[in-house]
């Protein structure tokens, strides 16, 4: 690898590490600040609503307000979850991805089918975060853009590669436009997938056409991202 490319990759890695730290900071602040305050407001509203008679003209307003605050609490939870994959630390990557898929299925009308093989302890911690974020972006794009009724996610190890396939039967789009916009730089989801895959030394492609659904395919070589002793120890190794 030439020096300039190596330098560029190192900068990219630093960018993503900084981004994860910043996301963690925002998630903790949201959780401990806004999230806690909303719970206090909700509890107070309930107490007040319970204390006034149902004939009181403000009773309905209070009940409606409580509903809005409950929605806001759910929304903050969802944002925190997106910002910080708590599950990744607690459950390991395989269960974290499964849990992300279950959440997507339970909060949308899309029928998600998944085949997720056990990939725990195969990758370094950094690689795991990239993999998790790639899958998350693929799923979020389906939820946001596809209008699909069905989606299929396959994550498997084959020929010393991690293979990820995320496809939907939704409205699809014209891919060249996306590639043009990706050239403008990091920030958009697909551009970020491209950059993460590059860091992992893998390959990716997106196939789509209007009316024909979308298929995102990714191949990541195990040997370049392997954790010899499990993710945690690999991190200590590198210090």
Ligand X SMILES: Nc1ncnc2c1ncn2[C@@H]1O[C@H](COP(=O)(O)OP(=O)(O)OP(=O)(O)O)[C@@H](O)[C@H]1O
Query: For residues 181-210, which are near ligand X according to CB under 6 A?
Result: 188-190
Residue 225: contacted member of ligand X, Mg ion, none (CB under 5 to 8 Å, by partner type): none
Query: For residues 172-231, which are near Mg ion according to CB under 5 A?
Result: 189
According to CB under 6 A, which one of 121, 124, 169, 214 is a site residue for ligand X? 214
Q: How far is the CB of 137 from Mg ion (least distance, A)?
A: 6
Rounded to 5 degrees, what angle do the CA atoms 127, 132, 134 make? 95
According to CB under 5 A, which one of 141, 146, 208, 225 is a site residue for Mg ion? 141
Does 142 bind ligand X (CB under 6 A)? Our answer is yes
Does 169 bind ligand X (CB under 6 A)? Our answer is no
Name the residues that contact Mg ion, by CB under 5 A.
141, 189
Site residues (vs ligand X, CB under 6 A): 141-142, 144-146, 168, 170-173, 178, 188-190, 214
């Amino acid at each position: 690898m030439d020096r300039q490319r190596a330098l560029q990759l190192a900068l990219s890695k630093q960018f993503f590490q900084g981004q994860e730290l910043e996301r963690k900071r925002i998630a903790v602040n949201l959780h401990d600040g806004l999230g806690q305050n909303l719970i206090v407001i909700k509890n107070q509203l309930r107490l007040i609503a319970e204390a006034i008679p149902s004939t009181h003209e403000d009773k309905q307003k209070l009940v409606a307000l409580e509903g809005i605050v409950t929605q806001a609490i759910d929304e903050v939870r969802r944002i925190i979850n997106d910002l910080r994959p708590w599950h990744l630390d607690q459950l390991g990557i395989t269960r974290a991805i499964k849990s992300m898929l279950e959440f997507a299925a339970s909060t949308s009308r899309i029928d998600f089918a998944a085949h997720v093989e056990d990939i725990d302890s195969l990758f370094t911690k950094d690689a795991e975060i990239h993999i998790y974020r790639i899958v998350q972006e693929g799923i979020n794009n389906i939820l946001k853009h596809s209008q699909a009724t069905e989606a299929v996610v396959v994550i498997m190890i084959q020929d010393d590669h991690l293979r990820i396939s995320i496809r939907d039967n939704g409205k699809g789009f014209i891919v060249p436009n996306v590639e043009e916009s990706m050239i403008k730089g990091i920030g958009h989801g697909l551009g970020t997938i491209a950059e993460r895959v590059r860091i992992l030394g893998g390959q990716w492609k997106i196939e789509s056409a209007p009316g024909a659904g979308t298929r995102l395919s990714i191949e990541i070589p195990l040997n370049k991202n392997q954790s010899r002793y499990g993710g945690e120890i690999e991190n200590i190794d590198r210090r």
